[in-house]
């Protein structure tokens, strides 16, 4: 049975329980790929810790942490085929990393260098969207274009990530409604991390689950344990396959609700202690995706202390190298803040750019730097 054929109001797909014991169907993933999955999650966790620390030291402007969400991001991204596209929100550093977006680019973006938001040639990752849910209609449009260009038989699938809060936006409704009507090759991947900054999931919608919203758009919705990377891999694989080659009478799109938790603050500008309790955080930390996969891999004989140590060492080196590269890249010229949105600047923006240039000329750049 496909993982998608479940009641989106009730069941939740799980492969590993909280101790890493197998409770569902283990997906067909090779041994090396399983270890790579673990490596990617460890890399994401370490990167996250270092990024928060860089921000605290004044070496980065702001940063949205992802700890707790590695299973959903890595598990889903590893299910994609090379030509598939990722359309991320602002928190998808681990999913983007898996797809070939170097960590140094992510660092540069959050350090204020817009060039960090530009993927390397051949990497199918769309730019990060900060306006909530705005990426959803973009993802539908990209998928629809692929279908139109290829005579109704799209070549690739388009996975779009967004949060629980995004499901309250008009863009969510419009994007999913169009996807259902035009039967586009999309996977709508909702990272339900229980909070939209300080708004809890219960205040977001009266729906029992987020996955059930798919029913209204005429396609499948499925809940998955988002802190179980193997379950996420299975569900995403099934959804991608259906997006590209649906069975008789099946609609291509799927809404995945990955149930999980963000351990840290919404961004480094937020203080979660004012709206949630430590007990709640601890309850979710018991479901941590990393020890879960580690326990499974140790049971399979794919990991032991020595191999875990080697991965930890490699991960530290990879993050240190990314930080070194990001910090040694020359900062962009301040005038570039007016670029990248319009091919040709509209008159009011051109005027602001000119005014800014004149002020720089008159007072010098030092006048703009923080003490
Ligand atoms: C259109 C829009 N409205 C409001 C905001 C401010 N804002 C930034 S993040 C956020 C909460 C988003 O929560 P959710 O969709 O659950 O994603 P999460 O941050 O939890 O990953 C809000 C309201 C925004 N960025 N864009
Ligand atoms: Mg959220």
Q: What is the pLDDT along the chain (371 residues), one digit of tens a residue?
A: 688 888 888 789 999 999 999 999 999 999 999 999 999 999 999 999 999 999 999 999 999 999 999 999 999 999 999 999 999 999 999 999 999 999 999 999 999 999 999 999 999 999 999 999 999 999 999 999 999 999 999 999 999 999 999 999 999 999 999 999 999 999 999 999 999 999 999 999 999 999 999 999 999 999 999 999 999 999 999 999 999 999 999 999 999 999 999 999 999 999 999 999 999 999 999 999 999 999 999 999 999 999 999 999 999 999 999 999 999 999 899 899 898 889 999 999 999 999 999 999 999 988 877 65
The pair of structure tokens assigned to 53 is 């620390």
Phi and psi dihedrals of 188, rounded to 5? -95, 110
DSSP 3-state of 2: coil
Residue 271: CB partners within 8 Å, gap ≥ 6? 265
What is the whole-number distance in angstroms between the Cα of residue 264 and the centre of ligand 1? 15
Superfamily for the 31-332 domain: Thiamin diphosphate (ThDP)-binding fold, Pyr/PP domains (3.40.50.970)
Q: Using CA atoms, how far apart are residues 170 and 174, in angstroms rounded to an integer?
A: 6
Active site residue 261: no
pTM for this model (two decimals) = 0.96
Rg (CA), the chain: 21
- Position 7 scores a pLDDT of 86
Q: HSE (CB half, 13 Å, CA atoms) of 159?
A: 34
Closest CA to 300 of 12, 33, 104: 33
For ligand 1, residues with CB inside 6 Å are 91, 130-132, 163-166, 191, 193, 195-197, 266
| Nearest ligand 1 atom to alpha carbon 89 | 21
- Position 371 scores a pLDDT of 57
Q: Among residues 39, 45, 262, 292, which one is catalytic?
A: 262
How high is the mean pLDDT of the chain? Answer: 96
Residue 38: CB partners within 8 Å, gap ≥ 6? 290, 293, 294, 297, 303, 311
Active site residue 266: yes
Closest CA to 288 of 69, 96, 37: 69
Do 287 and 67 meet the contact criterion of CB atoms below 8 Å apart? no
Q: Using CA atoms, how far apart are residues 9 and 125, in angstroms rounded to an integer?
A: 31
| Nearest ligand 1 atom to alpha carbon 267 | 19
Closest CA to 157 of 174, 182, 171, 140: 140
Phi and psi dihedrals of 22, rounded to 5? -75, 125
Phi and psi dihedrals of 94, rounded to 5? -75, -40
Q: Using CA atoms, how far apart are residues 188 and 4, in angstroms rounded to an integer?
A: 13
Active site residue 93: no
Question: Which residue, chain included where needed, has tokens 């279908």?
Answer: 147
| Nearest ligand 1 atom to alpha carbon 197 | 11
Helix (H) or strand (E) holding 163: strand 158-163
Residue 292: CB partners within 8 Å, gap ≥ 6? 16, 17, 18, 19, 20, 71, 227, 228, 229
Helix (H) or strand (E) holding 299: helix 289-299
Question: Which residue, chain included where needed, has tokens 């569902």?
Answer: 24
What is the β-pairing status of strands 254-259 and 220-225?
A: parallel
- Position 367 scores a pLDDT of 82
In 1-35, which positions are buried (b, 16+ CB within 10 angstroms) versus exposed (e)?
A: ebbbebebeeebbbbbebebeeebeebebeeeebb
- Position 369 scores a pLDDT of 73
pLDDT tens digit sequence for 106-130: 999 999 999 999 999 999 999 999 9
Do 39 and 311 meet the contact criterion of CB atoms below 8 Å apart? yes
């Amino acid at each position: 049975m496909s993982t998608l054929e479940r009641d989106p109001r009730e069941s939740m797909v799980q492969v590993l329980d909280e101790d890493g014991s197998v409770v569902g169907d283990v997906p067909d993933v090779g041994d090396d790929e399983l270890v790579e999955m673990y490596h990617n999650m460890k890399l994401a966790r370490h990167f996250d810790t270092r990024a928060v620390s860089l921000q605290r030291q004044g070496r980065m402007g702001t940063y949205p942490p992802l700890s707790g969400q590695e299973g959903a991001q890595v598990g889903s991204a590893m299910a994609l085929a090379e030509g598939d596209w990722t359309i991320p929100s602002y928190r998808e550093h681990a999913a983007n990393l898996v797809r070939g977006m170097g960590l140094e680019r992510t660092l540069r973006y959050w350090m204020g260098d817009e060039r960090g938001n530009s993927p390397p040639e051949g990497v199918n990752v769309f730019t990060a969207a900060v306006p909530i849910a705005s990426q959803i209609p973009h993802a539908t449009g990209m998928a629809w274009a692929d279908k139109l260009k290829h005579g109704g038989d799209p070549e690739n699938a388009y996975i779009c990530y967004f949060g629980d809060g995004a499901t309250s936006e008009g863009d969510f409704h419009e994007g999913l409604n169009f996807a259902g009507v035009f039967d586009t090759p999309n996977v709508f991947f909702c990272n339900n991390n229980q909070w939209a900054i300080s708004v809890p999931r219960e205040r977001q919608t009266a729906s029992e689950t987020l996955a059930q919203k798919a029913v209204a758009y005429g396609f499948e919705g499925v809940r998955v344990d988002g802190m179980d990377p193997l379950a996420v891999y299975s569900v995403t694989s099934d959804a991608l396959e259906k997006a590209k080659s649906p069975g008789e009478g099946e609609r291509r799109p799927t809404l995945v609700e990955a149930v999980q938790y963000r351990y840290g603050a919404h961004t480094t500008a937020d203080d979660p202690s004012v709206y949630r309790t430590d007990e709640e955080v601890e309850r979710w930390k018991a479901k941590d995706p990393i020890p879960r996969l580690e326990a499974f891999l140790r049971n399979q004989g794919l990991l032991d202390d020595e191999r875990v140590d080697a991965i930890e060492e490699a991960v530290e080196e990879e993050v240190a190298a990314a930080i070194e590269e990001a910090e040694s890249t020359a900062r962009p010229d301040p005038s570039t803040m007016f670029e990248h949105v319009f091919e040709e600047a509209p008159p009011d923006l051109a005027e602001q750019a000119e005014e800014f240039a004149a002020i720089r000329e008159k007072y010098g750049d030092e006048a703009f730097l923080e003490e």
